[in-house]
Amino acid sequence: MKNLILDQITDFLGEEINHHSPVSGGCIAQTEVLKTNKGNIFFLKQGYSNAMFTCEANGLHEIAKAGCIKTPKVILAKDDFLLLKWIEKGSKTIDFFKLFGQQFAQMHQKTQKQFGFFEHNFIGATPQVNTFEDNWANFYFTHRLLFQYKLAEQKGYVTPSLQCAFQKLEKIYPSILLGSEEKPALLHGDLWGGNYMVDKKGEPVLIDPAVYYGHREADLAMTKLFGGFSPDFYQAYQQTNPLIDGWKYRENIYLLYHVLNHMNLFGNSYYAQCMQLINFYL
């Protein structure tokens, strides 16, 4: 760990750090556990010098304000590091996914007037544009699908076949979302199996958000990108905050954003899945 970061943390806490060691914590940041002379334990993320960590902190704050699902407490956020309270891991209870689904549905009941967020942030390491819009269909196409498509063009992943398919999708896109209009809901933005924890009480804790206010179907679609959660999660969600009819049909349009992003981050092994998702509607 850089001595400068260690010194900043020590000065802020007023405690001496007498132990620090690497821990697993994702594929983007470098992560460590810190222990102080007063017995306090913290989780440190570092390795970037842009606004990624302050954006993550603001996202955690926004979820915490909903008051219905746990997040790590933000201790100190700077451009080059993020210090969080350590979450002691536990085991899932038999009702874990039922509780998770209920709490996630309650989080989506926190709304605001416009789609977007007060700042741009990141989805993984990719910039995520959150310019406020009154219309969800416009917001999602412009700042999610088209943004990722143009990035894929820059990276050389767009073939003539993908270009043709995307142009066809653009023409019919408004009809896909027609009738699904809702108030802008607070979204985690990047919820999959690696972005939640189980605390020592056996309760869910949301981590690594890409927060904005959007359509809650987009959040739920992302949970299914790598196989999905327990059926108890989705059943409890529906019982708490039922979805509008047609949500299953719209899942692929919301998955497309994340698959395009994965292609831009990790390469064209995701190309075939992008084409499959688009062709579902053509």
pLDDT tens-place string over residues 19-70 = 887 777 555 678 889 999 998 999 999 887 688 999 999 999 999 999 999 9
Please give the Cα distance from 10 to 18 (Å, whole number).
10
Which regions of the chain are under pLDDT 50? 1
Please say whether the beta carbons of 162 and 275 come within 8 A.
yes
* 148 to 36, 155, 176, 257: CA distances (angstroms): 42, 10, 19, 7
* Mutual angle of helices 247-266 and 147-155, in 10-degree steps: 30
Q: What is the pLDDT of residue 2?
A: 59
Please say whether the beta carbons of 212 and 140 come within 8 A.
no
Q: Please give the share of the chain, as a percent, with pLDDT higher than 70.
A: 97
Q: What is the pLDDT of residue 30?
A: 82
Catalytic, 199? Answer: no
* 178 to 19, 28, 64, 133, 250: CA distances (angstroms): 55, 36, 32, 17, 10
What's the whole-model pTM score? 0.95
Of the candidates 7, 190, 199, 219, the residue annotated as catalytic is 190
> Residue 21 in 3-state DSSP?
strand
Q: What is the pLDDT of residue 1?
A: 47
Which residues sit opposite 19 in a β-bridge?
35
